Amino acid sequence: MHIPDGFISVPVAAVTSLASGGALLVSFGRSQTAFGIRRAPVLGLTTAFIFAAQMINFPVAGGTSGHLLGGALAAIILGSPWAGMLCIATVLIIQAVLFADGGITALGANILNMGVIGVWVAWLLTQTLQRFLGGSKARLPLAAGIAAGVSVVVAAMACAIQLAISGTAPVNLVLASMAGVHILIGVGEGLITGGVLAYLATARPDLLPGEEQKFRGWLTPVVGILLVAGVLSLFASAWPDGLEKVAENLGFIDLSEQVRIVVPTPLADYGIQGLGQIGTSIAGLVGAGACFAVAFGIAKVMKPKNA
Amino acid sequence: MLKISLPLRLQLSLIIVIGAAFLKHYAWYNLLVYGAIALLWMGISRVSIRKLGGLLGAEVIFLSLVALPLGWEKASFLMVRSLICLIIMNSFLLTLPPHSFGIALKGLPLPIPLKENLLLAGQYLEILLSEVTRMQRSAQLRGLNGVGGWLRYASAAMIGALYLRTLERAERVYGAMVTRGYNGQLPIDSTLTAKERFTLIAVGIVVTCITLSSYTMPI
């Protein structure tokens, strides 16, 4: 998933660098308060450990191979997604600067995909799944394993979108192939993450977060909505709804083609042209995000001043 | 090799890589100039051609897997451009003295928490590797060999055990570092001299001109 030099355009490199730079700046402050100097060896070692683990490729079908990303593992062992971001960003800087693995100019994009999106998707999903599974420490490896696998696929899709925006490859080709390969890599990521956490939970339970609930009230519904919009939307029925069926039967369905003004929308029919089912998933995520943003904005505007 | 300090070598490599990577698509003449610069950089660094060739060979296989499905014309430009970037970075890396990447990285304008983590990660990588060797030796002494021996190292319990063993040593090392006065900074100076700054600015201007000209000239 490491984008090499020359594969993304200048605007994409600039925007992703700004986004990941901003996220890292916030993480410096947050991880320092959450972590402190006393636990510096844990952060340093986890970084070294994930760097070493990324060097071991495991075979994936079709002659390709994958390796651990470690975003979920880092965030959970360190107990903070902010420290996890710092850890993965450091790994990516070492790889880009010293091992020419991932481009210098694509560093911002790589940090955004693996260090920000990968870590946060894994962290939020772990917390949500653990709550759904009962919230006990024993279920953490299972929740984290599933979350780690999903986070790899989401990060790969973000990478594919950046390559498509840069004009390097057509979106339907790159998105489908990246998602396809990374589903298999995600299975490996999930197994390793879950297995390592299961071992650590037995050998050194003090290293892992405790039984206390760290969840925020909004987290479960928001992640649940995104899961439904992004994953379950893939299984939505392709049959026409009630009105469309009646219109077809009574012969007035063609009237919709005769409207004078047509507003072009990129997400028509809950999909993106040429992307098939992945397009439905992206449309679902964009829609859910937009609805949340609008509802959040209205709530902010309507909120009484003394609330 | 010319006497160029590590921080300056790293920063020059980065500037040239950024310039080459941001060239406009199909700007072959400008890419040719960067190719010449890469060869010059390779000569100045006096990198071993055999080592560089071996490393580039493996990297080109990966690049071709990514680029070839995009069509020959596009893939050839992307691959040559990426190859030039790889030659420049690898010429620096393969001539980097051992244990000194911390010094090179210290010269980069990075925030302190990131630098500290980079330095500690580099420090602990050596501990991690030595623990891997010790675990391998223990396995051999217990007679755990055979064709499928590699599977043992891929097991989650082994990876977890490696993490815990290394963590214990890393904590001891960190304690010793703090006792000796470590405060998150390397006890060396890596600031550039006035002459080095001038070289860096001059190279930066040349690189900017080459890259910008690819956007203004017709291809």
pLDDT digits (tens, 9 = 90+) for B72-94: 777 888 888 888 888 888 888 88
User: Residues 128-147, chain A: which have Cβ within 8 Å of B?
Assistant: none
Contact between B206 and B41 under an 8 Å Cβ cutoff? The reply is no
pLDDT for res B83: 86
CA closest to A32 among chain B residues? B113
Query: What percentage of chain B exceeds 90 in pLDDT?
Result: 8
Confidence of residue B179 (pLDDT cuts 50, 70, 90): confident
- Which of the 8 DSSP states describes residue A3? P
* β-strand pairing of A64-66 with A58-60: antiparallel
Q: Which chain B residues are Cβ-neighbours of A171 within 8 angstroms?
A: none
Q: Give me the count of residues in chain B.
A: 219
- Per the listing, tokens 């190859």 go with B83
CB contact under 8 A, B22 and A105: yes
pLDDT for res B56: 78
- Backbone angle region of B25, left / alpha / beta, with phi > 0 → left and psi within -120 to 50 → alpha: beta
CA closest to A14 among chain B residues? B22
- Contact of A35 with chain B, judged by CB distance below 8 Å, is answered with no
- Contact of B21 with chain A, judged by CB distance below 8 Å, is answered with yes
CB contact under 8 A, A196 and B82: no
DSSP SS3 for B94: coil
Contact between A192 and A152 under an 8 Å Cβ cutoff? The reply is no
Min Cα–Cα distance to chain B from A5, Å: 5
Query: What percentage of chain B exceeds 70 in pLDDT?
Result: 85
Report CA-CA distances (Å) from B78 to A78, A172, A266, A268, B64: 38, 20, 30, 34, 9
Computed over every residue of chain B, the mean pLDDT equals 80
pLDDT for res A278: 61
Tokens of B66: 């990514």
CB contact under 8 A, A37 and B184: yes
Q: Give me the count of residues in chain A.
A: 307
Q: Which residue has the higher pLDDT, A284 or B43?
A: B43
Question: Of the candidates B70, B128, B163, which has its C-beta nearest A169's C-beta?
Answer: B70
pLDDT for res B126: 81
pLDDT for res A270: 58
pLDDT for B1-35, tens place per residue?
557 788 888 888 889 988 888 888 888 888 899 99
Q: How far is CA A41 from the centre of its chain?
A: 27
User: Residues 165-184, chain B: which have Cβ within 8 Å of A?
Assistant: 166-167, 170-171, 173-174, 184
- Contact of B59 with chain A, judged by CB distance below 8 Å, is answered with yes
**pTM of the complete model:** 0.73
pLDDT for res A116: 93
Q: Which chain A residues are Cβ-neighbours of B65 within 8 angstroms?
A: 64
Min Cα–Cα distance to chain B from A89, Å: 8
pLDDT for B111-164, tens place per residue?
877 877 887 887 788 888 888 888 888 877 877 666 665 566 567 778 888 888
- Contact of B103 with chain A, judged by CB distance below 8 Å, is answered with no
CB contact under 8 A, B85 and A99: no
- Segments of chain A scoring below 70 in pLDDT: 32-39, 57-65, 210-307
Min Cα–Cα distance to chain A from B26, Å: 12
CB contact under 8 A, B14 and A97: yes
- Contact of B118 with chain A, judged by CB distance below 8 Å, is answered with yes
Question: Of the candidates B14, B63, B174, which has its C-beta nearest A41's C-beta?
Answer: B174
- Per the listing, tokens 């409207």 go with A259
Confidence of residue B190 (pLDDT cuts 50, 70, 90): low
The string of DSSP letters for B172-199 reads HHHHHHHHTT--SS-SS--PPPHHHHHH
Q: Which chain B residues are Cβ-neighbours of A43 within 8 angstroms?
A: 117, 120
Q: Where are the alpha helices (H) located in chain A, listed in sequence order?
A: 10-35, 40-54, 71-78, 81-99, 107-110, 119-132, 140-165, 171-203, 219-230, 242-250, 276-302
CB contact under 8 A, A91 and B89: no
Burial of B186 (0-12, 13-18, 19+ CB in 10 A): middle
